[in-house]
C-alpha cells in the first residue's frame, strides 16, 4: 500500500493584542459552587436519565447540558483542580473556556492584564509569557490548540467528546483547526495591523477566501455544527473568532459574515452563541470593536514615533 504525503510547515500566528482593561486580581469561578449562576445549565433529571451520548434525540443544548452536569459531579469526586489564565478579548483563551464549559469541567478563571502581567502568568508561561495557560493540579499547559488536545485526552471519559473516534475524522478535525489558525486568524491579524492599503488588501483577500472555504466545509457536513449534530473540536477552535469576524466590517471595512455569501456560517454563529456554556463567555462585539480601535491607534502612534 502506497501513501502519498504532501507536507508543509505550519505558521505560528501571533496573539491578539498586548494590552487589556484593568481586571480584578481575584479569580472568577465558572462552573463551581462559588458562582452557581455561572454554571452550565443541565437538563431536567428525567431527561438526564434517558440521555444516550452521541444520539440526536435531544437538541444540542440539552445534550451538552446533561453531559456537563454529570462531568461536574465526576470532577468533584476526583478532586481535580483547573485554573485558566486568559483575557476577555483573546480568541485563544476563549477556546479553552468553551471546551471546559462544554465538557462540564469546573475551573477558576483569572482575567489577566497584559500591560501588567501577573506573577502567576510569568511563572506559568516563563518562555513566551502569553495566554492562555491551563493549570491542572499544578501542571502547566500553554497554547490553545495544545490545551484543547490535553483536555480531550486527559478527560476523555468526562463530558461529551470534542474529537471524533474515527482516526480519519480526527485527522480532518485537526487539519481544519490548523487551517483556521494559519489561513484565517493569521491573515486577519495582518489585515488589522496593516500599515498600507496594499498590505491590507492582500491580507483581506486571504481572510475572505478562508471564510469562503469554511462556508463550503460546513455545507459538506450537512449538519448544524462542524462536529456534526453536536459541537466538536473545529467548532471550538473557530468560535474564538466569532466576535472578531462579526466586528471586521467596523474594524477593516469588509463584511466576513453575510447572509447572502455565507448563510451557513451566519446560522452557525447564531446557533453556537446560543448554547449553554457559550452564552456566558462570548465577548460583546461592540466592546471588542471599541477596544480594538483604541489598541490600533496606540500601535500606529508608536509606529510613527
- pLDDT for residue 303: 80
pLDDT at 20 over 70: no
- pLDDT for residue 176: 98
Q: What is the mean pLDDT of residues 11-32?
A: 42
- pLDDT for residue 69: 57
Q: Check: CB of residue 111 under 8 Å from CB of residue 28.
A: yes
- pLDDT for residue 61: 55
Could you count the other beta carbons within 10 Å of the beta carbon of residue 65? 24
Q: What is the pLDDT of residues 146-198, one digit of tens each?
A: 999 999 999 999 999 999 999 999 999 999 999 999 999 999 999 999 999 99
pLDDT band at 49 (very low <50, low <70, confident <90, very high): very low
Q: Which residue has the higher pLDDT, 264 or 37?
A: 264
- pLDDT for residue 72: 57
Q: What is the pLDDT of residues 69-105, one digit of tens each?
A: 555 555 565 579 999 999 999 999 999 999 999 999 9
Q: Which residues of 266-278 are buried (b: 16+ CB within 10 A; e: fewer)?
A: bebbebbeebbbb
Tell me the CA distances in angstroms from 275 to 11, 41, 98, 239, 258, one per residue in order: 31, 10, 10, 12, 21
Q: Check: CB of residue 121 under 8 Å from CB of residue 45.
A: no
pLDDT band at 42 (very low <50, low <70, confident <90, very high): very low
- pLDDT for residue 158: 94
For residue 16, give every residue at least 6 positions away whose Cβ sits within 8 Å of its Cβ, in sequence order, or none. Answer: 89, 90, 91, 92, 189, 244
Q: Check: CB of residue 89 under 8 Å from CB of residue 291.
A: yes
Quote the cell numbers at residue 129. Answer: 509569557
Of 33, 154, 52, the residue nearest 103 (C-alpha): 154
Handedness of CA 292, 298, 300, 302 (dihedral sign): negative
% of the chain exceeding 90 in pLDDT: 71
For residue 73, give every residue at least 6 positions away whose Cβ sits within 8 Å of its Cβ, in sequence order, or none. Answer: none
Q: Check: CB of residue 287 under 8 Å from CB of residue 20.
A: no
Q: What are the domain boundaries of the chain?
A: 28-154, 167-304
Q: Are strands 82-86 and 107-111 parallel, antiparallel or unpaired?
A: parallel
Q: Check: CB of residue 283 under 8 Å from CB of residue 243.
A: yes
| Cα gap 45→276, rounded to integer Å | 17
Quote the cell numbers at residue 54. Answer: 452521541
- pLDDT for residue 301: 87
pLDDT at 37 over 90: no
Q: Give the burial class of 299: count Cβ atoms within 10 A of its Cβ; 0-12 exposed, 13-18 middle, 19 or more buried.
A: middle
Tell me the CA distances in angstroms from 163 to 86, 151, 230, 288, one per residue in order: 23, 11, 11, 30
Q: Which residue has the higher pLDDT, 160 or 30?
A: 160
| Cα gap 207→144, rounded to integer Å | 21
Most confident stretch, 23-32, 43-52, 93-102: 93-102
- pLDDT for residue 93: 98
Q: What is the pLDDT of residues 110-155, one digit of tens each?
A: 999 999 999 999 999 999 999 999 999 999 999 999 999 999 999 9
Q: Per CATH, which fold does 167-304 belong to?
A: Glutathione S-transferase Yfyf (Class Pi); Chain A, domain 2 (1.20.1050)
Residue 277's region, left for phi above 0, alpha for psi from -120 to 50, else beta, is left
For residue 112, give every residue at least 6 positions away whose Cβ sits within 8 Å of its Cβ, in sequence order, or none. Answer: 20, 23, 85, 86, 87, 118, 121, 131
User: What CATH number belongs to 28-154?
Assistant: 3.40.30.10
Q: Check: CB of residue 206 under 8 Å from CB of residue 34.
A: no
% of the chain exceeding 70 in pLDDT: 74
- pLDDT for residue 64: 59
| Cα gap 243→245, rounded to integer Å | 5
Amino acid at each position: 500500500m502506497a501513501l502519498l504525503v504532501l507536507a508543509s510547515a505550519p505558521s505560528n500566528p501571533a496573539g491578539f493584542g498586548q494590552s487589556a482593561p484593568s481586571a480584578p486580581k481575584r479569580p472568577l469561578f465558572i462552573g463551581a459552587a462559588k458562582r452557581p449562576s455561572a454554571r452550565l445549565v443541565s437538563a431536567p433529571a428525567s431527561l438526564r436519565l434517558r440521555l444516550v451520548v452521541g444520539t440526536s434525540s435531544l437538541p444540542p443544548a440539552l445534550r451538552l447540558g446533561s453531559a456537563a452536569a454529570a462531568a461536574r459531579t465526576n470532577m468533584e469526586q476526583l478532586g481535580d483542580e483547573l485554573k485558566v489564565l486568559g483575557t476577555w478579548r483573546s480568541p485563544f483563551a476563549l477556546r479553552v473556556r468553551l471546551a471546559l464549559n462544554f465538557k462540564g469541567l469546573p475551573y477558576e478563571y483569572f482575567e489577566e492584564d497584559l500591560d501588567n502581567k501577573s506573577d502567576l502568568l510569568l511563572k506559568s508561561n516563563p518562555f513566551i509569557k502569553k495566554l492562555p495557560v491551563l493549570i491542572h493540579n499544578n501542571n502547566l499547559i500553554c497554547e490553545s490548540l495544545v490545551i484543547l488536545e490535553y483536555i480531550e485526552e486527559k478527560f476523555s471519559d468526562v463530558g461529551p467528546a470534542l474529537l471524533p473516534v474515527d482516526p480519519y475524522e480526527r485527522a480532518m478535525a485537526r487539519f481544519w483547526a490548523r487551517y483556521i489558525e494559519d489561513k484565517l486568524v493569521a491573515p486577519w491579524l495582518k489585515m488589522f495591523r496593516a500599515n498600507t492599503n496594499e498590505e491590507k488588501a492582500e491580507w483581506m483577500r486571504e481572510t475572505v477566501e478562508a471564510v469562503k472555504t469554511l462556508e463550503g466545509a460546513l455545507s459538506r457536513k450537512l449538519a448544524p455544527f462542524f462536529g456534526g449534530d453536536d459541537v466538536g473540536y473545529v467548532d471550538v477552535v473557530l468560535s474564538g473568532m466569532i466576535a472578531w469576524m462579526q466586528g471586521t466590517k467596523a474594524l477593516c471595512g469588509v463584511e466576513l459574515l453575510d447572509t447572502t455569501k455565507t448563510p451557513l456560517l451566519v446560522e452557525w454563529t447564531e446557533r453556537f452563541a446560543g448554547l449553554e456554556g457559550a452564552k456566558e463567555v462570548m465577548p460583546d462585539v461592540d466592546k471588542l470593536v471599541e477596544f480594538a480601535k483604541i489598541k490600533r491607534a496606540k500601535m500606529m502612534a508608536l509606529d510613527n514615533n
